[in-house]
Structure 1
């Protein structure tokens, strides 16, 4: 038998009306969605937890589907700026992995036609930035740890992680 405290630590994956996984919520929020009629249970052959109150027993599945039309906010790709690039690159140099004295670096230098766009700007520590100078990573012999790209919509990122099994979702 699972204790109530243990059940309340669980998470539930919430799908949109179109079956796109959009978020992971705690079981308290899942109960509220069910009780208010905003979500329905999805049966993927997964475990169901029973939460009891003095006069009610609620079955909470691992997966819910919203029954209401969710008006998603319009999400725009953020501007290429220091804060956003540092966030994307996990506050670490994309050449050596350091997290000290970070700057921004144009992978293809502006002097060589590089633009100030998401796929050309990375986080670099001062020493790597100085060592690379006005060269491409290939010319400098300094490969990037990750290929720079624009951030993706949070819902798309969650769905991608969910389907590839890399999310923080834990049944």
Structure 2
């Protein structure tokens, strides 16, 4: 038997009006969206849902809902390059050796060689790797990057990518 806290701890995927996955919400929020007419159930899994029981009613909450309201799209700007955002993007990990200790910011193409302080040219590096690389490019220093630097993506796009990746893994 499932406890109330287990049921209320589950989440529902919310799709936009054009069927793009945009976020996850808790069961209570999903019920409110459906009851107020701001969302409708989607039946991707063939009638499956989460049973929420009250003393008088059993309510089947779908695992996927679609917004029916046209909300103003929030304007999202790429955040400026700063230490906090860079550490977040690089998962607090040196992009040369994978260390999580004594992290600094490194310009992949050094500023002295014409490199800019932009998302595609800065990475998180530990002090040791930053000093070892010095005023050289990773190629010249023989220090390949663990991942290519790029600007953070819109949160809804990142969520959609993760959602579809998970769906693909479930099919395999």
TM-score (norm 2): 0.90
Aligned residue number for residue 17 of structure 1: 17
Counterparts of 1:76-155 in structure 2 under 5 Å? 76-155=77-156
**Partner Cα separation in structure 1 for residue 97 and residue 3 of structure 2:** 46
Secondary structure at the aligned position of 1:165 is classed as: helix
Instruction: State the superposition RMSD in angstroms.
Output: 1.7
Gaps of 5+ in 1: 167-171
**Partner Cα separation in structure 2 for residue 87 and residue 46 of structure 1:** 38
Task: Write out per-residue CA displacement over residues 114-158 of structure 1, whole angstroms, 9 at most, x where no aligned residue.
Answer: 111100000011111110001000100111111100000000000
Are 1:46 and 1:62, in contact at CA under 8 Å, matched by a contact in 2? no
Aligned residue number for residue 169 of structure 1: none
Aligned residue number for residue 65 of structure 1: 66
Gaps of 5+ in 2: 168-172
Distance change >3 Å, CA 109–CA 14, structure 1 → 2: same
**Partner Cα separation in structure 2 for residue 160 and residue 46 of structure 1:** 25
Kindly tell me the number of residue pairs found equivalent between the two proteins. Answer: 167
Larger RCO, structures 1/2 (Cα 8 Å, 6+ apart): 1
Runs of 4+ in structure 1 displaced over 4 angstroms? none
**Does residue 3 of structure 2 align to residue 6 of structure 1?**
no
